[in-house]
Copies of this chain bind each other. A is one copy, B any other.
């Protein structure tokens, strides 16, 4: 009898487990690493990894370690909610970036987290922890507040009944307070997130809408706290967000 999590697991499931064994802080893994992280026996991992490498989903470097391959990135680049969205948005992100040289981000909601689809950062802009392809709990980000505010009610309720992670003393962790913040976001049309992820950053975010008016993404600018008054950033963020919404509509 097998006493491992992979027992009875499909081949597809194992293949996907291999792919998800890579992370932002572990982009290069040995075969043994992959075996350990997935729970797959070495011989099994070897076979699956070999097939993925032959196709290009994985690549092997000079030290024999594996990394996510270009071929997988090419296929994944066809994701409408990933690069597809980013392609349409980029001119407007560039506009906002050139006007401010601050951090400009585009994100979508996935479950209880935002996934960053794009980020352009100025050299002197305040440091941000977001990473393209990375995730963050929605409640603690400007883009996340916008996306949650416009999410279906059941998504919001599910979120509000789960524990809210704190990153700084300013992170919103009280569900009642979060409800009020989300209502305010819906009312004003923008979210301001001050010091929720790092104390020195404040962001202003606005919704990006799909053809039917539904919110499909959110755009934000992140600046150093105490440098620019957030309300002064609202017109520019709204302008860029509306431009992206228009581009999405025209692409439908």
Question: A51 touching B12 by the CB < 8 A rule?
Answer: yes
Q: Which residue of B lies closest to A82 (CB)?
A: B73
Q: Does A190 count as interface, using CB distance less than 8 angstroms?
A: no
Q: Does A108 count as interface, using CB distance less than 8 angstroms?
A: yes
For the complex with contacts A67-B78, A94-B120, 16 further pairs of A-B residues with Cβ separation under 8 Å are: A12-B48, A12-B51, A13-B51, A23-B78, A24-B78, A70-B79, A70-B81, A70-B82, A70-B110, A72-B75, A72-B79, A73-B77, A73-B82, A77-B133, A87-B132, A91-B121
Copies of this chain? 2
Selected contact of A73 from candidates B28, B59, B67, B83, CB within 8 Å: B83
User: Which chain B positions have C-beta within 8 A of A76?
Assistant: 68, 72-73, 75-77, 133
Question: B80 touching A27 by the CB < 8 A rule?
Answer: yes
Q: How far is the CA of A131 from the CA of B88 in the complex (A)?
A: 12
Q: Does A159 count as interface, using CB distance less than 8 angstroms?
A: no
Q: Which residue of B lies closest to A18 (CB)?
A: B12
User: Which chain B positions have C-beta within 8 A of A48?
Assistant: 12
User: Which chain B positions have C-beta within 8 A of A135?
Assistant: 74
Question: B15 touching A83 by the CB < 8 A rule?
Answer: no
A residues contacting B by CB (< 8 A) are 10-13, 15-16, 19-20, 22-24, 27-28, 48, 51-52, 55, 57, 59, 67-84, 87, 90-91, 94, 97-98, 108, 110, 115, 120-121, 123, 131-135
Q: How far is the CA of A183 from the CA of B133 in the complex (A)?
A: 39
Q: Which residue of B lies closest to A58 (CB)?
A: B79
Q: How far is the CA of A29 from the CA of B128 in the complex (A)?
A: 37
**Of residues A52, A83, A115, A120, which shows the largest number of chain B Cβ atoms within 10 Å of its Cβ?**
A83
User: Which chain B positions have C-beta within 8 A of A23?
Assistant: 78
User: Which chain B positions have C-beta within 8 A of A51?
Assistant: 10, 12-13, 16
Given contacts A27-B84, A67-B79, A80-B68, contact A74 B133 (CB under 8 A): yes
User: Which chain B positions have C-beta within 8 A of A20?
Assistant: 75
